């Protein structure tokens, strides 16, 4: 079977229209162009994108975190709806956690809708634990947010965990004929 190369790259201002297109497809317009530009300009923000092998302008998924003191605050994790369940979310989360660890950050945290079982299941696979709940956090429907944490990013065994995840993520991708270039 021929595998198609995915490209994982830091996003730049050149990618803004692809970012907005993906934001629209995934969230119906979560952040504005100015919002993404602020992220791209901020030294405390890491914005990663997964590009299709066919076209450099087609963004299949993206993830973002803010470095705040020794914590990575994951603010976005999104895969284009046409490409769900192919392992792309795992690649992105793996890459966010690896980048956070490489930056010397100790732990990662995020908020997720209590009903978002797909995302919660993904986060649990990467060792996130529920630490609390913000009642009626989301203004659109009054839904609660779960607060998840993943600690130990600077423990020596985390490097072995990363290597293990990389193997699993690569195997998952290959089932959908993807590989990371
Ligand atoms: C959450 C999201 C990023 C997952 O992306 P994805 O590429 O489909 O995920 P993967 O194929 O890598 O799946 C990884 C794991 O996530 C979980 N998962 C993903 N989709 C799922 C679903 N529909 N139902 C249950 N579990 C699901 C599973 O544990 C899965 O592992 P498995 O395939 O071995 O069962 C994607 O659904 C998405 O973009 N959702 C909209 C945006 C969003 O909710 N982001 C999170 C905000 S905090």
Q: Domains in the chain, start-ordered, CATH in brackets?
A: 4-174 (3.40.630.30)
Q: Decide: 87 in ligand 1 pocket, CB within 6 A.
A: yes
pLDDT above 70 (res 56) = no
Nearest CA, atom 44, ligand 1: 119
* Helix 16-27, helix 33-41: angle, nearest 10: 120
* pLDDT tens, residue by residue, 73-130: 999 999 999 999 999 999 999 999 999 999 999 999 999 999 999 999 999 999 999 9
CA angle 117, 86, 146 (to 5 degrees): 20
Has this prediction a pTM greater than 0.95?
Answer: yes
Q: Is the dihedral of CA 150, 156, 159, 165 positive or negative?
A: negative
103 close to ligand 1 (CB < 6 Angstrom): no
Q: Establish whether residue 90 lines the binding site of ligand 1, counting it when its CB lies within 6 angstroms of any ligand atom.
A: yes
Nearest-CA neighbor of 57 among 21, 10, 33? Answer: 21
**Residue minimizing CA distance to atom 24 of ligand 1:** 118
């Amino acid at each position: 079977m021929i595998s198609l190369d995915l490209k994982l790259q830091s996003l730049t201002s050149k990618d803004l229209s692809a970012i907005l297109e993906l934001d629209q497809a995934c969230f119906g317009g979560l952040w504005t162009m100015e919002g993404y530009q602020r992220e791209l300009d901020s030294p405390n923000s890491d914005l990663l994108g997964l590009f299709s092998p066919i076209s450099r302008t087609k963004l299949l998924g993206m993830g973002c975190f803010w470095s705040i003191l020794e914590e990575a605050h994951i603010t976005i994790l999104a895969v284009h709806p046409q490409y769900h369940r192919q392992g792309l979310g795992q690649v992105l989360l793996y890459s966010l956690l690896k980048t956070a660890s490489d930056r010397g950050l100790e732990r990662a945290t995020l908020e997720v809708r209590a009903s978002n079982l797909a995302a919660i299941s993904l986060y649990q696979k990467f060792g996130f634990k529920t630490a609390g709940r913000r009642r009626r956090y989301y203004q659109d429907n009054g839904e609660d947010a779960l607060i998840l944490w993943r600690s130990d990013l600077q423990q020596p065994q985390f490097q072995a965990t990363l290597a293990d995840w990389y193997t699993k993520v690569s195997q998952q991708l290959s089932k959908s004929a993807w590989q990371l270039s």
